[in-house]
Amino acid sequence: MNIGMICYPTYGGSGVVATELGLALASRGHQVHFISYAMPFRLSNGFVENAYYHEVSTSDYPLFQHPLYTDSLAVRAADLAESEDLDILHAHYAIPHAISAYLAREMTANHRVKVVTTMHGTDVTLVGNSQAFAPLVSFSIQRSDAVTVVSNWLRDKTLEYFDVNRPINVIHNSVDSDRFRRKPGPCPCERYRLGQERVLLHISNFRPVKRVQDVIQIFARVRQSVPSVLLMIGDGPESDKALRLARELGICPYVRFLGKQNGIENYLGGADLFLMPSDHESFGLAALEAMSSETPVIGSDSGGLREVVEDGVTGVLAPVGDVETMARRAVEILKNPPLHQSMARAGRERAMRLFGVDRIVDQYVALYEKVLES
């Protein structure tokens, strides 16, 4: 198949999922064309057979106050659909990608290319749930040839927020268990240990929904009982608040803000616990990558994270905002090596069994084939 993969190129989950899916499809011999305004960061590691990148540029006309990215993307995708004889335009995220894919299909001479839309979370719960954009998201769902979401929870939210009369397919995110695994030898975490401390890790875009101040509160309580350090990877609007809170609590020397990092598998494979106390996660890709790396997860009992983490088996889920319970359970795990080892092994086994790349890519290929037959 010839597949156009429309995605954001940044560190967010949708861009990661789209890139990893495209690379897996390319490894199977499919022709995959990534279409975005910049090269997806997980695609920038060198030549990949059957994978191509097509940049979308916007023209700066004095008449327009803002660049017309949606329109430029639609034109670029339409050109590629015809020049590369694309079978599928797979849009990751509803606005603007699904809209641009729909416009691209309508602009092609024979309208042959099929549009598949994957909803990743905030395009449903935040953008799509606003009165200004809900009609546009609903339109993109109805006009797609197939729609997928990354969790049962997100499917339920989609049906709750939008008046749709079409199937919504659940295809979970996947993890490359060869890449995300605990490896022998030194790892980046070691340079931050001040002695025999345990390493707690948080990775996110530091938006309010991630509750990064709760991460700091949990760590402050854990450190009272277990010598430990906290590594904060990522950046975003809540970074300054988290840093101020760490200073107020007197734990700043033990909290390291590392900004955005490539090679996060090296950190996940060296940490002792992964903290994800979000308001909700549409899926929880970072938690899955932690589990694959044999790092137990402490998270919130909400959203799609329930479909990833098995409470009490691969980690702990507690009510949103309950930092006392999360900290107490974290201490229990860190002070009980057999329990920690059991959760670590169970997490990797669950990640490989339910969310392995081959299993998930098979589901997408089956969906593509079904769409092409219709």
Task: Determine the pLDDT at residue 263.
Answer: 84
Does the pLDDT value for residue 148 go beyond 90?
yes
Whether residue 227 is preceded by a cis peptide bond, meaning omega within 30 degrees of 0, is: no
Task: Determine the pLDDT at residue 11.
Answer: 58
CB-based burial of residue 160 (10 Å sphere; 0-12 exposed, 13-18 middle, 19+ buried)?
Answer: exposed
Identify residue 224 by its one-letter amino acid code.
Q
Model confidence at 37, pLDDT cuts 50, 70, 90, reads confident
- pLDDT more than 70, % of the chain: 94
Identify residue 321 by its one-letter amino acid code.
G
CA distance 5 to 93: 11
What confidence tens digit (pLDDT) does each residue in 174-195 have?
999 999 999 887 788 888 887 7
CA distance 327 to 334: 10
What confidence tens digit (pLDDT) does each residue in 66-77 have?
667 888 999 999
Task: Determine the pLDDT at residue 13.
Answer: 72
Residue 369, both tokens = 């084939």
The number of angstroms, rounded, from the C-alpha of 66 to the middle of its chain's C-alpha atoms is 28
In order of 121, 208, 212, 258, the CA distances from 215 in angstroms are 22, 12, 5, 15
CA distance 237 to 207: 6
CA distance 344 to 182: 10
Model confidence at 334, pLDDT cuts 50, 70, 90, reads very high
Q: How many CA atoms does the CB half-sphere of 358 hold within 13 Å?
A: 4
What confidence tens digit (pLDDT) does each residue in 190-247 have?
888 877 789 999 999 999 999 999 999 999 999 999 999 999 999 999 999 999 999 9
Sign of CA dihedral 173, 179, 183, 189: negative
Task: Determine the pLDDT at residue 133.
Answer: 80
Task: Determine the pLDDT at residue 42.
Answer: 64
Task: Determine the pLDDT at residue 14.
Answer: 78
CATH number given to 188-354? 3.40.50.2000
The number of angstroms, rounded, from the C-alpha of 364 to the middle of its chain's C-alpha atoms is 17
Q: Domain 2-174+356-373 adopts which CATH fold? A: Rossmann fold (3.40.50)
Same fold, 2-174+356-373 and 188-354: yes
- Tell me the chain's radius of gyration from C-alpha atoms: 21
Task: Determine the pLDDT at residue 75.
Answer: 92
Residues 6+ apart with CB under 8 A from 131: none
Minimal CA–CA distance to 173: which of 150, 149, 204?
150
Give the least confident one: 100-114, 118-132, 196-210, 333-347.
Answer: 118-132
Task: Determine the pLDDT at residue 374.
Answer: 85
Q: Which residue has the higher pLDDT, 300 or 10?
A: 300
Residues in the chain: 374
CA distance 79 to 340: 53
Task: Determine the pLDDT at residue 366.
Answer: 97
What is the residue extent of each domain of the chain?
Answer: 2-174+356-373, 188-354
What confidence tens digit (pLDDT) does each residue in 19-32 have?
899 999 999 999 99
What confidence tens digit (pLDDT) does each residue in 243-288 have?
999 999 999 999 999 998 888 899 999 999 999 999 999 999 999 9
* DSSP code string of 135-178: HHHHHHHHHSSEEEESSHHHHHHHHHHS---S--EE----B-TT
| pTM of this structure | 0.91
CA distance 121 to 134: 14
CA distance 204 to 13: 9
